[in-house]
Amino acid sequence: MAVIHNTTLQPSKLELLTSWLPSRPWYRAGAGAPDLAKAGGFRLDDPQGEVGMEFMVVTDTSGTAPTTYFVPLTYRGAPLDGAEHALVGTMEHGELGRRWAYDGCHDPVLVAQLSALIEGRAQAQAQNTSDAPDLDVTRSYRGDAPLHLTTDTTDDQEGTALTAPQGTTLRLHRVLLPAADDATLPAPETAGHLGGAWQLPDGTPAQGLFAVLHPAAGA
């Protein structure tokens, strides 16, 4: 299970993201550096108990209007071989020591558990409480074969695409919109989805899509 440590982080996760987000093609630049606040998220358990996995929702208020981002992260006790391009930064954890934080879309442990979550084989966990399911996270899968997403990943201005050998593509909505304003709610022709809840800057609860699974062309 995901164990939440009440301890210090230097630098903080938000400080790491403040430096990293502007390097992403899907970042909506404001007037200056990002001004970030946590808005929600959830965790997944690593079956081996080695890798921390957190799906953070953060809101940037540096622009003319707030922008909310969906940021999957992994935390490791040693560097991930071949993933230098996906390193968000390093932190000193008050109990665990140095931790390497990665863009989780490039971490095979997170991608495998994300596949399991969408299929219904894994349970989303609360972001800030140990051993507590997050019942606000929704998912569906309408495929005929097991979903095996890979770290074959593409970032563009619209978000991040993860592919599977069977040709399906999971499109992560890096910029989140409340469901009432989101024109990409799952349609019957999609193969699945991942959704959840977060808070708007004024404290109002919001729900929407985190990702949509698209079937292979011609399927």
Mind listing the pLDDT tens digit for each residue in 24-67?
999 998 768 999 999 999 999 999 999 999 999 999 999 889 99
Q: What distance in Å separates the CA atoms of residue 138 and residue 117, rounded to the nearest whole number?
A: 9
More confident residue, 73 or 186: 73
In angstroms, the CA 208 to CA 138 distance is 10
Among candidate residues 112, 42, 100, the one with its CA nearest the CA of residue 74: 100
Greater model confidence, 97 or 158: 158
Listed in sequence order, the residues at least 6 apart from 218 whose beta carbon sits closer than 8 Å to its beta carbon are none
Do residues 195 and 118 lie in contact, with contact meaning Cβ atoms separated by under 8 Å? Answer: no
What is the C-alpha to C-alpha distance for residues 108 and 99, in angstroms, rounded to an integer? 17
Q: H/E element holding 156?
A: strand 153-156
Q: Which class for 217: exposed (0-12), middle (13-18), buried (19 or more C-beta within 10 A)?
A: exposed
Query: What's the whole-number mean pLDDT along residues 208-215?
Result: 94
What's the pTM value of the predicted model, to 2 decimals? 0.92
Distance CA 50, CA 16 (A): 21
Instruction: Reduce the DSSP state of residue 46 to 3 states and report it.
Output: coil
Letter for the amino acid at 115?
S
Average pLDDT rounded to a whole number, residues 4-17: 82
Q: What angle do CA 106, 194, 6 make, to 5 degrees?
A: 65
pLDDT at 3 over 80: no
pLDDT tier for residue 70 given thresholds of 50, 70 and 90? very high
Q: What angle do CA 107, 110, 115 make, to 5 degrees?
A: 125
Please count the other Cβ atoms lying within 10 Å of the Cβ belonging to residue 88. Answer: 21
- The full set of domain ranges for the chain reads 9-214
pLDDT at 104: 98
pLDDT tens for 158-206 read 999 999 988 899 999 999 999 865 444 566 678 999 999 999 999 999 9
